[in-house]
C-alpha cells in the first residue's frame, strides 16, 4: 500500500519544517496498519518531493520503526546532493519516481 499522510502538513511551512505534533499525526496511519495486520502488508511512503532535506530526514527517522518498503521522492529528484544525503541517513530504500524521466 502506498500512502502519503505527510502531504497535508507541507503547506504550513512550505516543506521547510514539520512540527512534532504534525509528525505524530502523520505516523498514525502507519500505527493503524501495523496494529491491524502487523507486517503482512508492505507500506510505501510517497513524499511527493515536497520537503526540504532536514524535514524529509526527520520524517524518515520517525518512520523507520514501521519498516516501510521505500520512501518515494523524499526530496526534489533534481537535487542529487540532497537525495544522496537522504539515502545515507536512512536504512530504508529510496525510490525515484517518474519525475526523473522525460518523454524522450
- Domain boundary assignment for the chain: 2-100
Identify any residues that bridge with 44 across adjacent strands, giving them in sequence order. 2, 70
Confidence of residue 96 (pLDDT cuts 50, 70, 90): confident
Q: Note the maximum CA span of the chain.
A: 44
Predicted model pTM: 0.91
Q: Grid coordinates representing 32?
A: 493503524
Residue range 16-44, pLDDT digits in tens: 999 999 999 999 999 999 999 999 999 99
Residue range 40-73, pLDDT digits in tens: 999 999 999 999 999 999 999 999 999 999 999 9
> Is it true that domain 2-100 has CATH number 3.10.129.10?
no
Amino acid at each position: 500500500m502506498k500512502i502519503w499522510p505527510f502531504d497535508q502538513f507541507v503547506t504550513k511551512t512550505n516543506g521547510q519544517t514539520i512540527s512534532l505534533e504534525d509528525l505524530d499525526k502523520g505516523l498514525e496511519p502507519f500505527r493503524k496498519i501495523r496494529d491491524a495486520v502487523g507486517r503482512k502488508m508492505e507500506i510505501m511512503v510517497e513524499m511527493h518531493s515536497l520537503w526540504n532535506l532536514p524535514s524529509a530526514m526527520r520524517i524518515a527517522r520517525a518512520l523507520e520503526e514501521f519498516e516501510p518498503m521505500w520512501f518515494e521522492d523524499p526530496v526534489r529528484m533534481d537535487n542529487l546532493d540532497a537525495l544522496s544525503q537522504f539515502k545515507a541517513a536512512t536504512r530504508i530504500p529510496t525510490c525515484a519516481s517518474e519525475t526523473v524521466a522525460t518523454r524522450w
